Homo-oligomer: A and B are copies of this chain.
Amino acid sequence: MGNRIEKPQEDQRVRLTKTMLKSSFLELLGSKSIQNITVKELCERAGVNRGTFYLHFYDLYDLLEQMENDMLADLQQVLNENPVIRGDVSQEAAATFISSLFRFVEKNRELCAILLGDNGDKKFVNRLIEVGREKSVREYRALFQDASVQQVEIFYAFIASGFLGVIEYGLQHPSLPFEPLVAAAERIVAEGSRYLGK
């Protein structure tokens, strides 16, 4: 059930190499888009031999994907530990899922800003949406029993993207406090859920 995956206890040398590459990659992604980054310059910045890069990654996109996977695994954890919606949608009290999600984005702010921004990765965005779909649809169906599967699916397509839109808006405006933004999004979701009936 809640099985942690056994990590093969990676060699310290490997961990160092990967860490250097990943953090240098983040730096570069902050200033230019992935298609303008070369393996050569990444390795120079990371102080890693170019050949060593190919020992661990297929190419830059493979590296990016591995970084995305790490994040998605964390997000899956957040999802597993919290219900997406509370029994009573209009309830005001602190949302467990929403605040966990909020902390998750904050924790991965740098990578999130890159992956959701102008030079972002649409595939990653879609994976994000996919991660939450099954559970969300199930919970919304339980709450709005008169709604068809189709309706709930469309509803989810809307609010998942909408939520991400607000998060991106927040990442683009670092001066704004994050939490009220997300709380606002939750209000909109709650009101919008009238679409599902009752």
Copy number of this protein in the oligomer?
2
With A35-B35, A121-B122, A191-B195 already in contact, the answer to whether A158 and B185 are too (CB < 8 A) is yes
A97 part of interface (Cβ distance < 8 Å): no
A157 part of interface (Cβ distance < 8 Å): yes
Number of interface residues, chain A, beta carbon within 8 A: 41
Residues 113 to 167 of chain A near chain B (Cβ within 8 Å): 116-123, 125-126, 129, 151, 153-155, 157-166
Q: How far is the CB of A159 from chain B (nearest CB, A)?
A: 6
Say whether B123 contacts A122, CB under 8 Å: no
Q: 25 A-B Cβ contacts within 8 A? A: A35-B35, A116-B122, A117-B122, A118-B123, A119-B122, A121-B122, A122-B125, A129-B165, A154-B169, A154-B181, A155-B184, A155-B188, A157-B165, A157-B169, A158-B163, A158-B166, A158-B185, A159-B162, A161-B164, A162-B162, A184-B195, A188-B195, A189-B192, A191-B192, A191-B195
Name A's B-contacting residues (CB within 8 A).
34-35, 61, 116-123, 125-126, 129, 151, 153-155, 157-166, 168-169, 181, 184-185, 187-189, 191-195
